[in-house]
């Protein structure tokens, strides 16, 4: 009887170890999938909102101030607050960075707030295509469009 109880205890330890290790592994893998997907989801939502705004406003783009340029001469910072105030988006994306100063982040144009722990500035080119630029030391590539291995 005593040997049987020890076997059950050993099996329980093995199962618990498997659950802990398996849960950690699954969790770490899902993060590698979830964060890029979150970037892609926000890019799509912003693109849809910019397209709707442009259609409703005779082709004008929702840009911050006079159109602060990022990356190159054809990309302008999107005024996310204008999209929120127009009910085209429910709130600013959690990955929109707040940067001290004027006309350098997505929330400088209106009455909404971006986030101190975020990393992206969303931009639009003259054709209405939405892009992003990653800001900060943790970005894989600065001022390059797309997910940069950091979230938010």
Q: Is the pLDDT of residue 63 over 70?
A: yes
pLDDT band at 15 (very low <50, low <70, confident <90, very high): low
pLDDT band at 141 (very low <50, low <70, confident <90, very high): confident
Q: 17-31, 33-47, 99-113 — which is least confidently predicted?
A: 17-31
Q: 64-78, 90-104, 121-135 — which is least confidently predicted?
A: 64-78
Q: Report the pLDDT value the prediction gives residue 26, as an integer from 0 to 100.
A: 46
Tell which wins on pLDDT, 75 or 67. Answer: 75
What does pLDDT average to over the chain?
84
Q: Report the pLDDT value the prediction gives residue 107, as an integer from 0 to 100.
A: 96
Output 105-108 pairs: Cβ under 8 A, ≥24 positions apart: 105/64, 105/77, 106/64, 106/77, 106/78, 106/79, 106/80, 106/81, 107/80, 107/81, 108/64, 108/65, 108/77, 108/79
- Residues 67/106, Cβ–Cβ less than 8 Å: no
Alpha-carbon distances of 96 from 3, 57, 77, 106, 121, rounded to whole Å: 60, 24, 11, 7, 6
Q: Report the pLDDT value the prediction gives residue 22, as an integer from 0 to 100.
A: 46
């Amino acid at each position: 009887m005593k040997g049987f109880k020890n076997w059950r205890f050993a099996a329980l330890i093995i199962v618990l170890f498997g659950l802990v290790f398996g849960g950690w592994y699954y969790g770490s893998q899902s993060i590698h999938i979830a964060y890029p997907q979150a970037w892609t989801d926000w890019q799509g939502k912003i693109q849809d909102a910019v397209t709707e705004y442009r259609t409703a406003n005779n082709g004008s783009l929702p840009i911050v101030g006079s159109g602060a340029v990022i990356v190159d001469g054809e990309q302008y910072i999107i005024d996310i607050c204008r999209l929120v105030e127009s009910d085209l988006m429910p709130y600013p994306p959690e990955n929109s960075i707040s940067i001290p100063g004027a006309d350098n982040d997505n929330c400088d144009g209106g009455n909404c707030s971006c986030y101190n722990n975020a990393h992206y500035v969303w931009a639009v080119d003259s054709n209405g295509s939405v892009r992003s630029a990653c800001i900060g030391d943790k970005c894989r590539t600065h001022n390059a469009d797309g997910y940069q291995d950091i979230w938010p």
